[in-house]
Amino acid sequence: MKIVTALLDFRQPAPKTLILATGNGVIKADGTLVMGAGSARALARAYPWTPRRFGAMAAQHPGNGVWHRYGLLVTPIGNHAVGLFQSKGDWRDDASLPLIGYSAKKLASWLREHPGWEAHLAFPGIGLGGLQKEEVLEVLKPILGDLGDRLVLYLS
Protein backbone atom coordinates (compact mmCIF):
# COMPACT_ATOMS: atom_id res chain seq x y z
CA MET A 1 0.00 0.00 0.00
CA LYS A 2 1.45 3.27 -1.14
CA ILE A 3 0.21 6.74 -0.13
CA VAL A 4 0.71 9.73 -2.41
CA THR A 5 -0.22 13.37 -2.00
CA ALA A 6 -1.99 14.11 -5.26
CA LEU A 7 -5.45 14.47 -6.72
CA LEU A 8 -6.76 11.22 -8.17
CA ASP A 9 -7.43 11.67 -11.91
CA PHE A 10 -10.49 9.66 -12.88
CA ARG A 11 -10.15 10.37 -16.61
CA GLN A 12 -6.74 8.94 -17.50
CA PRO A 13 -6.47 5.40 -16.09
CA ALA A 14 -3.78 3.05 -17.34
CA PRO A 15 -4.70 -0.46 -18.52
CA LYS A 16 -5.48 -2.93 -15.72
CA THR A 17 -6.16 -0.10 -13.29
CA LEU A 18 -9.17 0.13 -11.00
CA ILE A 19 -9.98 3.74 -10.13
CA LEU A 20 -12.01 4.05 -6.92
CA ALA A 21 -13.90 6.91 -5.37
CA THR A 22 -15.35 6.66 -1.88
CA GLY A 23 -19.09 6.23 -1.67
CA ASN A 24 -22.20 5.82 0.43
CA GLY A 25 -25.15 3.47 0.19
CA VAL A 26 -28.10 5.81 -0.40
CA ILE A 27 -30.16 5.17 -3.53
CA LYS A 28 -32.47 7.98 -4.64
CA ALA A 29 -36.08 7.43 -5.75
CA ASP A 30 -34.95 7.54 -9.40
CA GLY A 31 -32.61 4.57 -8.80
CA THR A 32 -29.35 6.52 -8.86
CA LEU A 33 -26.79 6.30 -6.08
CA VAL A 34 -26.07 9.56 -4.27
CA MET A 35 -22.71 10.75 -5.65
CA GLY A 36 -22.93 14.48 -4.93
CA ALA A 37 -19.72 15.32 -3.08
CA GLY A 38 -16.03 14.57 -2.79
CA SER A 39 -14.38 11.90 -4.92
CA ALA A 40 -17.77 10.32 -5.77
CA ARG A 41 -18.82 13.58 -7.40
CA ALA A 42 -15.56 13.73 -9.36
CA LEU A 43 -16.14 10.17 -10.59
CA ALA A 44 -19.75 10.98 -11.56
CA ARG A 45 -18.56 14.02 -13.51
CA ALA A 46 -15.96 11.97 -15.37
CA TYR A 47 -18.45 9.12 -16.02
CA PRO A 48 -22.00 10.56 -15.92
CA TRP A 49 -23.64 7.12 -16.21
CA THR A 50 -22.09 5.82 -12.96
CA PRO A 51 -24.77 7.01 -10.48
CA ARG A 52 -27.42 4.95 -12.30
CA ARG A 53 -25.16 1.91 -12.79
CA PHE A 54 -23.92 1.95 -9.19
CA GLY A 55 -27.46 2.55 -7.90
CA ALA A 56 -28.62 -0.63 -9.65
CA MET A 57 -25.60 -2.54 -8.37
CA ALA A 58 -25.98 -1.31 -4.77
CA ALA A 59 -29.68 -2.25 -4.79
CA GLN A 60 -28.60 -5.90 -5.12
CA HIS A 61 -26.98 -5.73 -1.66
CA PRO A 62 -28.62 -5.77 1.79
CA GLY A 63 -30.27 -2.55 2.90
CA ASN A 64 -31.87 -1.22 6.05
CA GLY A 65 -34.51 0.97 4.44
CA VAL A 66 -32.18 3.97 4.28
CA TRP A 67 -28.94 2.67 2.76
CA HIS A 68 -27.34 -0.44 1.25
CA ARG A 69 -24.13 -2.19 2.39
CA TYR A 70 -22.10 -3.15 -0.68
CA GLY A 71 -18.50 -2.51 0.32
CA LEU A 72 -17.13 -2.40 -3.21
CA LEU A 73 -18.75 -1.80 -6.60
CA VAL A 74 -16.70 -2.26 -9.78
CA THR A 75 -17.65 -1.84 -13.41
CA PRO A 76 -15.24 -2.45 -16.29
CA ILE A 77 -14.60 0.11 -19.02
CA GLY A 78 -12.48 -1.36 -21.78
CA ASN A 79 -9.08 -2.30 -20.34
CA HIS A 80 -9.60 -0.58 -16.97
CA ALA A 81 -12.40 -0.25 -14.40
CA VAL A 82 -14.00 2.30 -12.12
CA GLY A 83 -15.75 1.76 -8.85
CA LEU A 84 -16.81 2.83 -5.40
CA PHE A 85 -15.23 1.91 -2.07
CA GLN A 86 -17.94 2.35 0.54
CA SER A 87 -16.93 4.46 3.52
CA LYS A 88 -20.38 5.68 4.64
CA GLY A 89 -23.83 4.27 4.99
CA ASP A 90 -25.84 7.48 4.69
CA TRP A 91 -24.13 10.35 2.88
CA ARG A 92 -25.18 12.69 5.72
CA ASP A 93 -23.23 10.70 8.33
CA ASP A 94 -19.54 10.51 9.12
CA ALA A 95 -17.56 7.67 7.64
CA SER A 96 -17.60 4.37 9.53
CA LEU A 97 -14.42 2.51 10.48
CA PRO A 98 -16.20 -0.88 10.54
CA LEU A 99 -17.64 -0.19 7.09
CA ILE A 100 -14.21 0.88 5.81
CA GLY A 101 -12.83 -2.42 7.15
CA TYR A 102 -15.59 -4.35 5.36
CA SER A 103 -14.90 -2.49 2.11
CA ALA A 104 -11.15 -3.06 2.49
CA LYS A 105 -11.77 -6.82 2.71
CA LYS A 106 -13.84 -6.64 -0.47
CA LEU A 107 -11.05 -4.71 -2.22
CA ALA A 108 -8.34 -7.12 -1.04
CA SER A 109 -10.40 -10.01 -2.38
CA TRP A 110 -10.98 -8.25 -5.72
CA LEU A 111 -7.28 -7.56 -6.16
CA ARG A 112 -6.36 -11.16 -5.34
CA GLU A 113 -8.90 -12.33 -7.94
CA HIS A 114 -7.40 -9.94 -10.53
CA PRO A 115 -3.64 -10.52 -10.63
CA GLY A 116 -1.75 -7.89 -12.58
CA TRP A 117 -4.27 -5.19 -11.72
CA GLU A 118 -3.70 -2.27 -9.38
CA ALA A 119 -6.19 -0.04 -7.56
CA HIS A 120 -6.03 3.73 -7.11
CA LEU A 121 -8.27 4.91 -4.28
CA ALA A 122 -9.19 8.30 -2.88
CA PHE A 123 -8.15 7.99 0.78
CA PRO A 124 -11.33 6.81 2.51
CA GLY A 125 -13.01 8.37 5.51
CA ILE A 126 -11.10 11.64 5.76
CA GLY A 127 -12.26 15.03 4.54
CA LEU A 128 -16.05 14.84 4.27
CA GLY A 129 -15.92 11.53 6.14
CA GLY A 130 -14.78 13.25 9.33
CA LEU A 131 -12.16 10.67 10.34
CA GLN A 132 -8.44 11.10 10.97
CA LYS A 133 -5.91 9.55 8.59
CA GLU A 134 -4.18 7.62 11.39
CA GLU A 135 -7.36 5.89 12.61
CA VAL A 136 -8.27 4.87 9.06
CA LEU A 137 -4.76 3.49 8.49
CA GLU A 138 -5.12 1.35 11.64
CA VAL A 139 -8.04 -0.36 9.91
CA LEU A 140 -6.56 -0.52 6.40
CA LYS A 141 -3.00 -1.72 7.09
CA PRO A 142 -3.84 -5.18 8.49
CA ILE A 143 -6.17 -5.86 5.55
CA LEU A 144 -4.45 -4.13 2.61
CA GLY A 145 -0.88 -3.63 3.81
CA ASP A 146 0.50 -6.69 1.98
CA LEU A 147 -0.61 -5.46 -1.46
CA GLY A 148 2.45 -3.28 -1.96
CA ASP A 149 2.31 -0.94 -4.95
CA ARG A 150 -0.84 -2.65 -6.27
CA LEU A 151 -2.80 -0.23 -4.08
CA VAL A 152 -2.24 3.53 -4.19
CA LEU A 153 -4.11 5.80 -1.76
CA TYR A 154 -4.47 9.44 -2.75
CA LEU A 155 -4.39 12.29 -0.24
CA SER A 156 -5.32 15.62 -1.75
Burial of 116 from C-beta contacts in 10 A (0-12 / 13-18 / 19+): exposed
Work out how many domains the chain is built from and give that number: 1
SS3 category, 134: helix
pTM of the model: 0.96
pLDDT at residue number 93: 95
pLDDT at residue number 120: 96
Would you place residue 116 in the very low, low, confident or very high pLDDT band (cuts 50, 70, 90)?
very high
Q: What is the mean pLDDT of the chain?
A: 95
Question: Is the confidence at residue 13, as pLDDT, over 90?
Answer: no
> Residue 84 and residue 81: Cα distance in Å, rounded?
10
Residue 127 CB partners (closer than 8 Å, separation 6+): 38
Contact 89, 66 (CB under 8 A): yes
Percent of the chain with pLDDT over 90: 90
Number of CB atoms found within 10 A of residue 141's CB: 12
Percent of the chain with pLDDT over 70: 100
Range of the domain at 137: 2-155
Instruction: Provide the CATH number for the domain around residue 142.
Output: 3.40.220.10
Q: Per-residue pLDDT tens for 46-96?
A: 999 999 999 999 999 988 888 999 999 999 999 999 999 999 999 999 999
Sequential DSSP letters for 63-100? B-SS-B--SEEEEEETTEEEEEEE--SSTTSPP-HHHH
End-to-end C-alpha distance for the chain, whole angstroms? 17
DSSP at 28:
-
> Residue 43 and residue 38: Cα distance in Å, rounded?
9
Sequence letter at residue 9: D
DSSP at 33:
B
